[in-house]
Amino acid sequence: MTEFRCRCGWVGEPFHFRNRPKVVRCRECRADTQLSVNAIDYRKLVESKGKRCPACTKHKQADEFSVARDRCDGRAGYCRACMQKRYGETKRRYECESRNRTKKSVADKLYRSTKRFRAATEAMDKLYPSHFVRNS
């Protein structure tokens, strides 16, 4: 009996299909799971021996990777430390771009309002030329 752990948490012997040998179905939630080569054994192997993070190139225990139920080994591809570093960089870059966008929109509003004021002033000069003449 092979041990199967479903994403719903159920552990046991799943349904097998004769015409679909790479697919098993959970007896609890009835979810179909596509099995890669020895996917069930691979999860056990990762849990016992750990895996390598491609970002920091270090071999770490499985607890240092977030849970990812959609992956064949049940763990995320990058360790938590690398993911936090990547998230922090992305967040800082987004905040900087957001600040620049805000500054640009304020400058654009000021420019547009000045342009409208100048256009209105020029229109008034044309209507009432003597009214706006400066006495020197």
> What average pLDDT is seen over the chain?
81
Determine phi and psi for 76, rounding to 5 degrees.
Answer: -70, 165
Checking if the pLDDT of 107 tops 70, the result is yes
Checking if the pLDDT of 23 tops 50, the result is yes
pLDDT at 79: 92
pLDDT at 1: 47
- Bigger pLDDT: 122 vs 36: 122
| pTM over 0.85, yes/no | no
Quickly list DSSP for 5-68. E-TTS-EEPPEE-SS-TTEEE-TTT--EEE--TTHHHHHHHHHHH-EE-TTT--EE-GGGEEE-
Cβ(75)–Cβ(102) below 8 Å: no
Q: Is 23 exposed, middle or buried (0-12, 13-18, 19+ CB in 10 A)?
A: middle
